[in-house]
Amino acid sequence: MSTQHPSGTPGEPERTSPAGGGLKALFDFNFDTFVTPSIVKIVYVIATVLVALLTIGFAISGLTTMFRGGAGVVLGFLLLLASPIIGLVYLAFVRMSLELYYAVIRLSEDVHHRGRL
């Protein structure tokens, strides 16, 4: 029976964060440590807040257009309905982009780690 390690694959050692992550990694001019794993969560939180604010702004714009009357009622209603959908789609693209960057960094770390064995 194989032992399952915390990282998920049998026989793989537990991952630890590199010494000097965070701000120290930003100023590593030798590129010995990757900064992406330490800032990807922060970037996602900032992107989520910005997308939420833009979605709320579009919804408010839709409401004001709706209450002006005339042809703006239909346009405002469509904008009111479309704003959360557009926000979710945009947030999904941000998430997929960040996951792609993170996966490339993890792949590079694994290749470098296996090269040292």
Tell whether 8 is covered by a domain: no
What pLDDT was estimated at residue 5?
46
Domain that holds residue 92: 41-115
Tell whether 86 is covered by a domain: yes
Q: How far apart are CA 114 and CA 42, in angstroms?
A: 29
Q: How far apart are CA 31 and CA 40, in angstroms?
A: 17
Residues of the chain with pLDDT under 50: 1-5, 8, 11-18
What pLDDT was estimated at residue 111?
86
Q: How far apart are CA 73 and CA 64, in angstroms?
A: 9
Neighbours of 95 (CB within 10 A): 13
What pLDDT was estimated at residue 89?
97
Tell whether 52 is covered by a domain: yes
Whole-model pTM?
A: 0.69
Tell whether 21 is covered by a domain: no
**Relative orientation angle of helices 36-66 and 72-115, to the nearest 10 degrees:** 180
What pLDDT was estimated at residue 3?
47
**Domain total in the chain:** 1
What pLDDT was estimated at residue 2?
45
